[in-house]
Amino acid sequence: MSAPRVIDHVLAVPLDHDAPAGPAIDLFVRAVAADDEVTRPYLVFLQGGPGGESPRLSGEPGWLHAALRDFRVLLVDQRGTGRSSPVGEPSGAVDAADYLTHFRADSIVRDCEALREHLGVRQWTVLGQSFGGFCALHYLSTRPQSLAGVLFAGGLPPVGVSIEEVYAATYAEMGALSREWAHRFPAARDALVEAVRLAEAGRLRTLGADPIGVRRLLSIGGGLGMGKDEVLRDMFDFAPDSTFFRADVETQIPFSGRNPLYSLLQEACYADGETTRWAAARVLPREIADDPTMMTGEHLFPEHFQESSALRPWFEVAQLLAKHRWPRLYDAGALAGADVRCAAVVYPRDPFVPREHSLATAALLPRMRAVEMDLPHNALRTHGDTVIAQLLESVAEA
């Protein structure tokens, strides 16, 4: 295939779609087609996150080449990410928290609808990776008439499950992955215990001198769900107080200042008509909290804000968002009545979107074909050709 044809779109959308005369923000979308092919249907890609921009073409994702055989692909920089209007620095906690209530899946879907109408498209197919799948399910729950098909890659979220139940399930899987890692790499396990000891003593810091406490240190376990077992093992080749280790560990802590949306809205993306109240911290199992070899993943703690100089200005905002009652995202009855072809790839060892929740949601959808694949959570990125081929084959059978 020759170089793809690329057209960039910038569309002004309301910050609050229920107040269209209010402030507007920019939505950036990159349209990619094979050669000069302009008649193929659209596939809208919704990236993981929250707070993740769409991939750039310099490192062309493996799935894109395959998708372009059948579709024109729209790579959406979800609001607040990439070249869409940035969130900026907080000027006041109350105003910033109110502003950020408009950056969840419900607003992202309404942005997509504004784009669909702008392009004059009757229906299109949506591909959701991880958090993008949460957006795709909300789309299916609220506007199925706009959808020709929906593809979920490791992102078929729970419906009717409390946030406490979600985190209990993710902790259970992280515990199992941690035990397996410790068994495979005993020397690295011992080095992890030593690093935890230093963190408890206040002697572990980033190269920029930010403290790394125990909870922030152990959140590097998210890498176990991304196929980074050996990466974490190799990191512990270095002494925990060395500059090599300190630099490496900072890159593996999932919550950072690159885009604060990931930290600020991580728990909110699971909240289906409820408040979060620092749910991951509240339901942390004692057997994980007391064991220095038990790592965590996408489990947010106040320490992530308190210890990071980049996130610290957002801590009061995070406190307010933790008290916010988020509206419902999914309607089980609407999903059960959605006459839309759907396909999902579910990962059995996924510590971010639990298998049992995904399969229960799949069972709600009348035209769903769900397939389990023994791959990491980010397999659309690492095994893109395999995943997209399975999704396209499954959706054709739905």
Measured between its terminal Cα atoms, the distance across the chain in Å is: 29
Retrieve residue 76's tokens. 């959406």
**In DSSP terms, which residues pair with 152 in a beta bridge?**
128, 344
Do 360 and 386 touch, CB atoms closer than 8 A? no
Output DSSP code: residue 290: T
Q: Which of 112, 32, 116 is nearest to 67 (CA)?
A: 32
Residue 325 confidence (pLDDT) = 98
Q: Is the pTM of this model over 0.85?
A: yes
**In angstroms, rounded to a whole number, what is the distance separating the alpha carbons of residues 322 and 327?**
13
Per-residue pLDDT of the chain (398 residues; tens, 9 = 90+): 567 889 999 999 999 999 999 999 999 999 999 876 678 999 999 999 999 999 998 877 789 999 999 999 999 999 999 999 999 888 899 999 999 999 999 999 999 999 999 999 999 999 999 999 999 999 999 999 999 999 999 999 999 999 999 999 999 999 999 999 999 999 999 999 999 999 999 999 999 999 999 999 999 999 999 999 999 999 999 998 899 999 999 999 999 877 899 999 999 999 999 999 999 999 999 999 999 999 999 999 999 999 999 999 999 999 999 999 999 999 999 999 999 999 999 999 999 999 999 999 999 999 999 999 999 999 999 999 999 999 999 999 98
Runs of H (alpha helix) within 68-162: 93-100, 105-119, 131-142
Distance set, CA 133 to CA 23, 54, 172, 271 (Å): 27, 14, 22, 15
- Give one DSSP letter per residue of 234-270, joined into a string: HHTTS-TTSHHHHHHHHHH-S--SS-THHHHSTTGGG
Do 83 and 28 touch, CB atoms closer than 8 A? yes
Residue 1 confidence (pLDDT) = 52
**In DSSP terms, which residues pair with 45 in a beta bridge?**
75, 127
Residue 198 confidence (pLDDT) = 96
Q: Within its chain, how far is the Cα of 82 from the centroid?
A: 15
Number of H helices, E strands in the chain: 18, 8
Beta pairing, strands 5-14 & 24-33: antiparallel
Beta strands in 49-130 (DSSP E): 72-77, 124-129
Collapsing DSSP to helix, strand or coil, 227 comes out as coil
Between CA 344 and CA 296, with CA 156 as vertex, the angle to 5 degrees is 125
Core vs surface per residue 309-338: b (16+ CB within 10 A) or e: eebebbbbbbeebbebebeebbbeeebeeb
Distance set, CA 198 to CA 161, 192, 195, 201, 241 (Å): 37, 10, 5, 5, 8
Q: Which of 200, 152, 56 is nearest to 372 (CA)?
A: 152
Residue 386 confidence (pLDDT) = 95
**In angstroms, rounded to a whole number, what is the distance separating the alpha carbons of residues 106 and 108?**
5
Residue 2 confidence (pLDDT) = 66
